Amino acid sequence: MAAMSTSHVLLGLLAGGPRHGYELKRSHDDRLPQAKPLAFGQVYATLGRLERDGLVEQSGQDRDGGPDRTSYVITEAGRARLGEWLTEVEPPAPYVTSALFAKVVVSLLASGERVATEYLVAQRAAHTTRLRELTAVKTDSAATVGDVIAADYAIAHLDADLRWLQTTLLRLADLNEEMNP
């Protein structure tokens, strides 16, 4: 099963018609406002791989008062790949790979319970601050439905992390004793 990638997102954006790299970057950043913005280099490198793999092709050159801009269009193979990705169910994560968990374990092993506690408290404060920012997005009169849905998704994950951080703080002494007998 394929995870989300820049390639899939760009294929999806190209499904609406030909676009050049600048338009794709702008559309990505507008349509996925809570996602990490794409770098122009990432857009063009991804387009190069998609073209190499036959998933997009050049559809023309534009010059809009500046350098030439190559437009791309999705191919039938690209539509098929996009369709496959869109119907794949994302598997729940089989392993605990969170940096939060890893830092707690490593801090207990390397520095002890005090450092792990300080980390958990600081991380909880950072999560709480981000939760407040996202809540403000939801109540902003200029927020789009997409903004609100993206904020809801992030809030749900932050809330789960905050519950885990609190529970881990309560169990830290036992974990430390288990790891450092």
Note the helical H segments in the chain. 6-14, 21-31, 40-52, 76-87, 99-110, 113-139, 145-179
pLDDT on residue 2 = 41
Q: Is the pLDDT of residue 154 over 70?
A: yes
Residue 1 in domain = no
| Integer Cα distance of 135 and 144 in angstroms | 14
Number of compact structural domains in the chain: 2
Residue type, 11: L
Q: What's the pTM?
A: 0.66
Query: pLDDT tens digits, residue range 13-35?
Result: 899 899 988 899 998 888 776 67
pLDDT mean across residues, the chain: 86
Domain that holds residue 154: 99-179
Residue 46 in domain = yes
CATH number at residue 34: 1.10.10.10
128 backbone dihedrals φ, ψ, rounded to 5°: -65, -40
pLDDT on residue 1 = 33
Question: How many other CB atoms are there within 10 angstroms of residue 15's CB atom?
Answer: 14
What is the CB-side half-sphere exposure of residue 91 using CA atoms within 13 A?
6
Q: Which one is predicted more confidently, 94 or 156?
A: 156
Are 107 and 82 in a shared domain? no
Domain boundary among 27, 52, 87: 87
Q: Quick one: angle between helices 40-52 and 21-31, nearest 10? A: 110
For residue 21, what are the contacts with CB-CB under 8 A and spacing of at least 6? 40, 43, 44, 47, 69, 70, 72
